[in-house]
Structure 1
Amino acid sequence: MQKVNIPALLVLMVALLMLSACASTSTPPAETTSTPVASSASTGAGVSPTETSTPVAVANTRVGTEEYRIGPQDLLEIQVVGVQDLSRTVRVNSRGSISLPLVGVVKAAGLTSQELEAELATRLAKDYLQNPQVSVFIKEFTSQRVTVEGEVKKPGVYPIKGHITLLQSLATAEGITNMADASNIKVFRVAPDGTRSVQVFDLEQIRTGAAPDPEVRNDDVVQVGQSQGKAVAKGLMEFILPFRLLSPAL
């Protein structure tokens, strides 16, 4: 009877598993109707899909853009149509307020740009202008942050300024690891009304232009999943390492 070379057989099995893992990362995960989201997403902390049973819809589409609320140190560009002297760029102070001519001190923190526009227009219309047209543009979002976790090289909570996309947020964490499943990138989000949502993206589709690069918002959590095939292959490689040391011919 021919003697079976067990270490060589294990090496062959690992090679087949690694090939299978590489092939699986290029295939988008099947869409599901619900998935649990951790309640810690609203605080920017790491999340685990097993921490809560709240079901939310999942879709491989662009993440929605809930209205951002102004925070301290944000930089605002305020325009009053027809009144150049009232148009200026101001930074929200640490107390969340701004100061403007005629209007005085206004509490801006916690308001959306539309809400602040309405507040400024109301104050100007009261004593100074008739039907004032006010626009507020947020030039810098200095109070924003995003959490990047999972199979990235440097997970953590990162401050962000202005608009940032999914690819850019992954770059701040120095990219994904070689154990990552590029087709399983989740973005967790909590809306102002407390509604939790998660959407799944395929990194390779975004890189090739087949899918848009979604915008990541304040307090979002980006979670990079692990490739199960690669994890199994790594475990087997670690298991057969002693056999390889005993069999130099392998």
Structure 2
Amino acid sequence: MAACAKRETVPVASSLPEADPVTEALGRSEYLIGPSDLLTVAVFQVKDLDREVRVNNAGQISLPLIGGVHVAGRTVGEAEAEIATRYRDRYLQDPQVSVFVKEFSSQRVTVSGAVKKPGIYPMSSRLTLVQSLALAEGLSDIGSERNVLVFRTVDGERKFARFDVAAIARGENEDPEIYGDDLIIVDTSAGKVTLKTLVQLTPFVAVWRAYR
């Protein structure tokens, strides 16, 4: 019981640890494209070839002249190179192709606990903690603004940090960025959700220690 009581007093964090490499690359050049992602493909000085396309379940996009191109599991740079090669081999002398990930639908965040609409939400863009809570329509009547837990996988280990969203709303603390596969749990004012969650997950999670 003493150990459980101690876990209820986890300090409020000011930041989150970096996620595993694939997850933290959301929106960056290392991000791996996935099914349902929405891409903007542009070929320099050839406007007729510009397209906004969504990756299908097979991991492909369809482009003018060259048809289906498999892009799932590839970085933005790799997708650009593949598309450029296809156009170069058949139609264009030196195509310059740019790919931009407009919606990251293959990435999701889970929001649970004392929120109005718990669920798993696709990340169509970069999200902060407050924005993620808004996807779940905010805290319920019994939700605790001072006890919002974020679980994240770091180097294969599940870790967590506690945030005070009231302080974030007042501008006193930074609003941390949320990555795909993060789990957000809002505690109740009585502290029941936090206690139950930590007991269930221990020893599979560890407290992020940067704020101690």
Determine if the TM-score, normalized by the shorter chain, exceeds 0.5: yes
Q: Which residue of 1 aligns with 2:145?
A: 182
- Deviation, 1:126, is 4.4
Q: Distance in 2 between matches of 1:196 and 1:95?
A: 30
Alpha-carbon distance in structure 2 between the residues aligned to 1:196 and 1:155: 21
Match of 2:109 among 139, 146, 157: 146
Q: CA deviation at 1:115?
A: 2.8
What RMSD, in angstroms, separates the aligned Cα atoms of the two structures?
A: 3.2
Quick one: which of 54, 72, 75 aligns to 2:38?
75
Contact 2:103–2:123 (Cα < 8 Å) also in 1: no
2:11 to 30, 39, 46: 30
Judging by fraction of residues, say which structure has more helix.
1
2:15 pairs with 1:61: yes
Task: Quickly say closer, same or farther: Cα 1:29–1:194, change in 2 above 3 A.
Answer: closer
AA matched with 1:182? E
Alignment partners' CA distance in 1, 2:79 and 2:146: 40
Deviations 1:93-140 (A, max 9, x none): 232211223443211222232332232234344455455432211222
What is the TM-score when the length of structure 1 is the normalising length? 0.56
Given the superposition, is the C-alpha separation of residues 135 and 209 from structure 1 closer, same or farther in structure 2, using an over 3 Å criterion?
A: farther
1:211 aligns with 2:181: no
- Structure number with higher strand proportion: 2
Q: Residue 89 and residue 177 in structure 1: after superposition, are their counterparts in 2 closer, same or farther (change >3 A)? A: closer
Once superposed, which parts of structure 1, at least 4 consecutive aligned residues long, lie more than 4 Å away? 125-131, 193-197
Pick from 221, 230, 238 the counterpart of residue 183 of structure 2. 221
Structure 1 contact 153–177 (Cα < 8 Å) conserved: yes
2:135 to 172, 175, 179: 172
Q: CA deviation at 1:144?
A: 3.6
Contact 1:60 1:201 in 2 (8 A): yes
Gaps of 5+ in 1: 1-27, 32-58, 232-250
1:141 and 1:119 mapped to 2: Cα distance? 20
SS in 1 for 2:82: helix
Residue pair 1:166, 1:216 contacting (<8 A) in 2 also: yes
Alpha-carbon offset, residue 227 of structure 1:
4.6
TM-score (ref. length: structure 2): 0.65
Q: Which amino acid aligns with 2:11?
A: A
Counterpart for residue 163 of structure 2: 201
The structure that has the greater radius of gyration is: 1
